[in-house]
Amino acid sequence: MHMADALLSPAIGATFWVASCAALAWSARQVERDKRSDLVPLMGVLGAFVFAAMMINFSIPGTGASGHLGGGLLLSILLGPHAALIVMTSVLTVQALFFADGGLLALGANIFNLGVCSCYLAYPLIYRPLVQRVGITPSRNRIALATVLAALLGLQVGALGVVAETQLSGISSLPLGTFLLLMQPIHLAIGLLEGLATAALVLFVRQARPDLFVTISPARLAASGRATRRPVGLLLALGAASLLTAGVFSWFASSQPDGLEWSIQRTTGHTEVAAPESKVHATLSAWQSATAWFPDYTWASSSKQAPAPTQQAQAAINTVADPSWPAVEAGTTLAGIVGGLVTLSLVLGLGYWLKRRKPSQL
């Protein structure tokens, strides 16, 4: 659900940059005050893992569309909403700058739709009230149900945000009624699958590190002897999972358009909307082209060996032969590993910088 710059006017893009920056400032202030000693390392490896997981699109049966893990809810459950938003922002920034996945003008809107909606709406309004009952350890079924419901809400609100932002931007090729009736149902299906995947990951981590979950009482943790275990094993496991996901499992990603591209294609006949002829769009597009080492998650040099085919030629290519699956490609592996390492470095740098600042008294 990464929006391209073509879907936004400069005014709306700037508005959501301001809104997301305000949310980030609040998150940073809260992370400064967080006393958990293992928070920053967990932020780093989870950021790398979410980056890798977002490379894997899964097909939505019977639709011709695909989706991927959003990550905001998973991070909120494991890190808390404030640290989660900082990690999500780092992931989305790396994707936009180095992989041309989502526009630079649209980065603020993408942070809002994928990060703020999950961290500050779905998590506190759905997940936490359902599982956080004083003196009661939630069952696996309750956690799974809360996770699925929160994932559904977060993605529905995020998809609605995309529709609203395009309408406020005056994108006439995406009429409100048609675009809305396509975006919401397909993201309902994506949200269900994302919720199930997130629930499985949460339950796995809960077994290894129950102290990450505030719903388990400190007395019960102390009695189990697991409250003081160092997180080295979990960090190593998440790091290995990130490498495998980015380097190998990414070959198995669906080549079908994601929910947003699918909705645009059903509305306009193409998976992309033509960018407005404005200086802002042209400048940001040039900047992104200069920084995108791995456009479309492959090595840039290989993607520039031949000019891109016309839409008619591409349609003819697609009708002749389907792309091979799995798509075993060294460029994808390199892109995934480099992206994960860059995300890890960025999150660790931000996290330790925030921890060394003097907490604000406001």
Domain of 66, CATH number, reads 1.10.1760
The pLDDT of residue 27 = 96
The pLDDT of residue 359 = 56
97 in a domain, yes or no? yes
Tokens 């979950």 locate to 213
Question: Do residues 84 and 42 make contact, with C-beta atoms less than 8 angstroms apart?
Answer: no
34 in a domain, yes or no? yes
Tell me the range of 130-144, 160-174, 263-277, 287-301 where mean pLDDT is highest: 160-174
Q: Under DSSP, is residue 336 helix (H, G, I), strand (E, B) or coil?
A: helix
181 in a domain, yes or no? no
Please say if the pLDDT value at position 320 is more than 70.
no
144 in a domain, yes or no? no
185 in a domain, yes or no? no
170 in a domain, yes or no? no
Please say if the pLDDT value at position 55 is more than 50.
yes
Q: What mean pLDDT is predicted for residues 281-296?
A: 91
Cα separation, 116 vs 279, in Å, equals: 29
pLDDT in tens, 205-264: 888 777 676 544 444 444 444 444 557 888 898 999 999 999 899 889 998 999 999 999
342 in a domain, yes or no? yes
Q: What mean pLDDT is predicted for residues 61-70?
A: 92
Write the DSSP symbol of residue 63: T
Please state the domain count of the chain.
1
DSSP H or E stretch at residue 94: helix 81-99
Decide: pTM greater than 0.75.
yes
Question: Do residues 79 and 87 make contact, with C-beta atoms less than 8 angstroms apart?
Answer: yes
Confidence of residue 301 (pLDDT cuts 50, 70, 90): low
Determine phi and psi for 174, rounding to 5 degrees.
-120, 80
The pLDDT of residue 296 = 86
Please name every residue paired with 60 in a beta bridge, in sequence order, or none if there are none: 65
Q: Which of 21-25, 293-297, 349-353 has the lowest mean pLDDT?
A: 293-297
Please say if the pLDDT value at position 312 is more than 50.
no
Domain that holds residue 348: 5-118+228-302+314-356
Confidence of residue 300 (pLDDT cuts 50, 70, 90): low
Other CB atoms closer than 10 Å to residue 110's CB: what's the count?
Answer: 27
260 in a domain, yes or no? yes
pLDDT in tens, 98-132: 999 999 999 999 999 999 999 999 999 999 999 88
Other CB atoms closer than 10 Å to residue 11's CB: what's the count?
Answer: 11
